[in-house]
């Protein structure tokens, strides 16, 4: 591209130098910052890990001159020392796997401990039900002995001595319900 006029220079600045999105003051808009943050994370997240604010600080450092033509190059460069001290090394795959295994083991242990506690409560409940059943059985045995004592103390007449009252009853005609 040959720049011969002021208009060509302005077009070049729009296309190549100025941030794609700017706020009213002429600074890079939030959207531009997040675009640079996303590019940094795409490239460097396997090497570094950090809070969102640190990634934003790094993006702001890259964007400080508002010259978009340098951003791609600066994104590929390692972080400046003032940002590097805020970054942590990314977990290695083995460390991630061990951390995941540790979390899984902790979760499994919590589940087993919870089941043991549930089992203790169930045993206590079972014991209480057993005691109630034992009390109920004792109550029934007491009632049985009471009834046996009543029966033993009461002499029932023999069947031949009992007179059936039904034949001696006279049948009275029902006149109230006749239609």
- The full set of domain ranges for the chain reads 6-89, 91-152
pLDDT in tens, 89-135: 887 777 777 887 888 899 999 999 999 999 999 999 999 999 999 99
Share of the chain above pLDDT 70, in %: 82
Cα(59)–Cα(57) distance, rounded to whole angstroms?
5
- Tokens 């941030």 map to which residue? 19
174 confidence band (pLDDT: 50, 70, 90): confident
Higher model confidence: residue 12 or residue 140? 140
148 confidence band (pLDDT: 50, 70, 90): very high
Token pair for residue 10?
A: 């302005």
Higher model confidence: residue 68 or residue 153? 153
pTM of the predicted model, to two decimals? 0.40
Average pLDDT over the chain, rounded to an integer: 83
Which helix H or strand E contains 83, and what residues bound it?
helix 81-84
Cα(136)–Cα(74) distance, rounded to whole angstroms?
85
* Average pLDDT estimate for 43-60: 91
Separation in Å, CA 45 to CA 40, 53, 90 = 8, 14, 7
For residue 151, the model assigns a pLDDT of 87
For residue 14, the model assigns a pLDDT of 58
Detail the DSSP E strand segments found in the chain: 48-49, 88-89
DSSP string for residues in 17-59: IS-SSB-TTSSBPHHHHHHHHHHHHHHHTTTEE--HHHHHHHH
Which helix H or strand E contains 139, and what residues bound it?
helix 93-153
């Amino acid at each position: 591209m040959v720049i011969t006029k002021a208009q060509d220079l302005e077009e070049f600045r729009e296309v190549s130098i100025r941030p794609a999105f700017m706020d009213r003051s002429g600074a890079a808009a939030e959207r531009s910052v997040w675009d640079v943050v996303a590019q940094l994370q795409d490239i460097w997240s396997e090497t570094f890990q950090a809070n969102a604010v640190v990634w934003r600080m790094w993006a702001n450092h890259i964007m400080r001159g508002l010259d978009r033509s340098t951003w791609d190059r600066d994104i590929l460069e390692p972080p400046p020392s003032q940002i590097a001290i805020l970054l942590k090394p990314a977990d290695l795959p083995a460390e991630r796997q061990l951390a995941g295994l540790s979390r899984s083991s902790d979760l499994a242990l919590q589940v087993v401990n919870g089941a043991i506690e549930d089992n203790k409560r169930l045993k206590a409940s079972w014991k209480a039900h057993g005691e109630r059943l034992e009390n109920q059985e004792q109550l029934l045995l007491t009632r049985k002995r009471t009834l046996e004592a009543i029966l033993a103390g009461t002499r029932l007449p023999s069947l031949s001595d009992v007179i059936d009252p039904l034949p001696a009853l006279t049948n009275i005609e029902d006149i109230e319900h006749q239609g």
